[in-house]
Amino acid sequence: MSVAVAVRRLAHGQDLPLPEPASAAAAGADLRAAVAAPVVLAPGGRVAIPTGLAIALPEGYEAQIRPRSGLARDHGVTVLNAPGTIDADYRGEVLVLLVNLGDRPVEITRAMRIAQLVVAPVARVDWQVSADLPPTARGAGGFGSTGTDAGTPGGGASAC
């Protein structure tokens, strides 16, 4: 399935490739840093990195900004608000909010692959207020409750 997405290259991203998947079956398309000079991301630091792109998603779709596994594994760098959401009506520059959870500074350089962009359909919700919800085997068991005995400490006494 293919979705047409209009993209505008901004002045500082003219020489960078458009987002593209790294392999034929990859779900995400790599986003690149459109920085003029290297940006050093200190341990614990966060920075919004420009991509030099603005997009126009069709109504009924969103774009998600997700971390790149190699950056996370090798340097502890991830997307702070993962997944970041770009709404169909946003027309500004795509920025990637990176955070360094590692113990060493990381240099973000021009054209470096910094995140992945995934375009996905959005379901509209018709909320229906109900006094009762249909029962399930899990019930109200939350954080860490699946695969455990709900009667043991920490087994299912939490929300979500």
- Domain architecture of the chain: domains with CATH: 27-121 (2.70.40.10)
pLDDT, tens only, 80-95: 999 999 999 999 999 9
Per the prediction, the chain carries an average pLDDT of 92
pTM: 0.84
Asked whether 111 and 32 are in contact (CB, 8 A), the reply is yes
User: Which residues 6+ apart lie within 8 Å of 44 measured at CB?
Assistant: 99, 100, 101
The whole-number pLDDT of residue 146 equals 77
Closest CA to 114 of 68, 53, 80, 48: 68
The whole-number pLDDT of residue 145 equals 77
pLDDT, tens only, 14-69: 999 999 999 999 999 999 999 999 999 999 999 999 999 999 999 999 999 999 99
